[in-house]
A and B are shown apart, each in its own frame.
Chain A
Amino acid sequence: MRESHDGMEERAFARAEKDRADALAFARSIAEKNGWRLNPDSQAVAWIADGLARNYNRYGYFQCPCRDSWGDAEHDSDIICPCEYCTADQADYGHCYCGLYLTSSFFAAGEPVRSIPERRAQELFP
């Protein structure tokens, strides 16, 4: 921590807590960047956003909220949102594992988001 006159600089170097609104803004930016759509179920998106925010606040990154974590970015790198399995799951099922990011076609079809098989190798989990 750098020294400061009033502590403001010290606080500026601390990681800011994230909340649901922050996580939603993050998710919207990712969706827009990739041409995806967010799950139209607002309750599901709220739960996912809360999970992303909680994980950011305890681990320091937007770890997928539907997967268990090592708590360090190196071991969790492939499941930091958007996860490395997202596009493959979207190709097979129309949406990512936790149901946050939908393809445009799946969104347009109005089909429900479902629990899908875990694609990540189990030995990568704690």
Chain B
Amino acid sequence: MFEYLEFRSVDGKRNDHDLKLFILTTCAHCERALAYLAKEGVAYRVVYGDELPVELKRRLRNDFVRSFHSPVRYPSLVIDDSEMLAGFEQIEWDEALRAAGAPGRGQ
């Protein structure tokens, strides 16, 4: 999913799952999400939506709607191409990442 985008990779000790982070270069909620992922030592790939050309923004938006029945918001975290978190709320991200690490999750 999203193979047409160039993601930047961020290393981390927790790398059991494919995490794709969608953020803006200007967004405070996105900064909080970045700080959280750094603190948690999570590996992920990131793309900045505001740096994309309009045609890719459109394609991204359509893919989000088709795959997650929701338009892209910033920040958005896609877990194993199957689950999407929109906006940053630490409790929600804690639960999703903890559940993603549980046996049988995402299979």
Contact = CB atoms under 8 A, between A and B. Distances in A.
A118 interface: yes
Report which residue of B26, B31, B32, B49 has the largest number of chain A beta carbons within 10 angstroms of its beta carbon: B26
A88 to B, nearest CB: 17
A125 B29 contact: no
Given A114-B89, A115-B89, A47 B28 contact: yes
Determine the interface band of chain A, counting residues with CB < 8 A from chain B. 20 to 34
Judged by DSSP, the binding face of A is loop
Interface in A105-126: 114-118, 122, 125-126
A68 interface: yes
A59 to B, nearest CB: 10
A65 B27 contact: yes
B1 interface: no
Contacts of A103: none
A69 interface: yes
A65 B28 contact: yes
A66 B71 contact: no
Contacts of B24: 51, 65-68
Interface in B44-102: 49-50, 54, 57-58, 61, 65, 71, 73-74, 87-89
Contacts of B15: none
B9 interface: no
17 contacts: A44-B32, A48-B28, A51-B26, A51-B27, A51-B28, A54-B25, A65-B26, A65-B27, A65-B28, A66-B29, A67-B74, A68-B49, A68-B50, A115-B89, A118-B73, A122-B65, A125-B57
Interface of A: 44, 47-48, 50-52, 54-55, 65-70, 98-99, 114-118, 122, 125-126
Given A47-B27, A98-B27, 12 more contacts: A47-B28, A50-B26, A51-B24, A51-B25, A51-B28, A55-B26, A68-B24, A99-B28, A114-B89, A115-B89, A117-B87, A126-B57
